[in-house]
Amino acid sequence: MGTHFDQVPLVGTGLDPAGDIDGWLASAPVHALVEAFSRTEQDHELARDLAAEKGDVTERLARLDAFTDRWDTRRGRERNQADELPMRPEQEELVLAAAEALGMRGGTRLRYDRYDHILMLGGLIRACLVRTAYAAHLIRSGQVTAGSVTALGGHRPFVGDEFELAAQAGAPELGEEYEAMDFGTRRAFGLGAPEAVEGEESDLPGGTWGVRRYRTAEGMPVQVVAAPSSEPERRRADTPDSYAFFAKYVAALQPGERLLLVTTPIYVPAQHAAAVRMLKLPFGVEVDTVGNEPGVLAGMAAQQFSATKYLLEVRSTVRSLARLAEALR
């Protein structure tokens, strides 16, 4: 019989986000991952401390973060350029089972049928096309209604196989994430020319930003946004930067509003924790995060993720939870 774990609640969906973090750290799949990749007695001690909820939560997160360094095959590169970790078959099986239980392989649910805002998060080109198509599918199929839709991307040049995937999608002229988000959004929602275009060009790595405002045939506002970085001289905008820019500049969020974030299942835990920190806590809104279902976009095969890719995103989740824990303090 294959490895199986009970489902772990998504951090931030309950009434006690701090308790959710404790529960996530002490969960059976997280404990099993640490044990499976432990090399020293100190590593095994970490696994025991996590399971026993022993020690301050920020200290446990820091120790787990340091432990996950061994899974970091990106080394500053884009996700599609990461190397694969050597793993035994039983380790691979365990990683996939843990990812399933941690909500990284689908299964997150919609709590409401009406959202004030739907956000589609950018990424590599496949994400820019699939997530926009899935958001449109949710609306078109009647599963949800929305007051507005916003695609959050960034001015990141394509790397690796993204050029080939753009050509396969019928858009060989694409060469960066923001343009891919705009293309995917226009195609998914059947949009014409933008009603308004705002933005600013900058020579700094993260200083350029832009907003293109559209409206569907039914009159629903749709925006495609590239946020500026909070550290423009050092790096391009990250997910929290995009959330903050959306909340303050694009949507002017009000307490009690409902937001639905659409991403890829593997990124749901990390991006949801960031949304709780950057949107739910400061603005008093409700946030749901769902991953797209495979097969929504015709002509592009469903993406398959290796065990290494799941370990990389467990690492991303640990770091996102650490920032959330600090905000809760």
Residues 118 and 78 occupy one common structural domain: no
pLDDT in tens, 161-209: 889 888 888 888 999 999 999 999 999 999 999 999 999 999 998 999 9
Q: How many domains does the chain have?
A: 2
Sign of CA dihedral 137, 139, 144, 146: positive
pLDDT at 238: 82
Mean pLDDT of 97-108: 91
- Residues of the chain with pLDDT > 90, as a percent, come to 71
Residues 281 and 323 occupy one common structural domain: no
Residues 47 and 186 occupy one common structural domain: no
pLDDT in tens, 35-78: 999 999 999 999 999 988 888 999 999 999 999 999 988 766 66
Cα 281 from chain centroid (whole Å):
18
Poorest-pLDDT segment among 85-89, 190-194, 300-304, 305-309: 300-304
Mean pLDDT of 154-163: 86
Residues 214 and 253 occupy one common structural domain: yes
Poorest-pLDDT segment among 61-65, 72-76, 87-91, 324-328: 72-76
pLDDT in tens, 11-35: 988 789 999 999 999 999 999 999 9
Alpha-helical (H) ranges within the chain are: 17-26, 28-36, 41-51, 57-67, 89-101, 125-140, 162-168, 177-189, 239-245, 268-275, 281-283, 307-328
pLDDT at 161: 86
Domain extent, residue 84, equals 1-106+303-329
Q: Is residue 82 part of a domain?
A: yes
Q: Is residue 141 part of a domain?
A: yes
Residues 71 and 186 occupy one common structural domain: no
pLDDT at 97: 97
Residues 84 and 161 occupy one common structural domain: no
Q: Is residue 297 part of a domain?
A: no
Residues 148 and 199 occupy one common structural domain: yes
What span, in angstroms and rounded, lies between the C-alpha atoms of 44 and 35? 6
One-letter identity of residue 114: R
Q: Is residue 327 part of a domain?
A: yes
Residues 208 and 187 occupy one common structural domain: yes
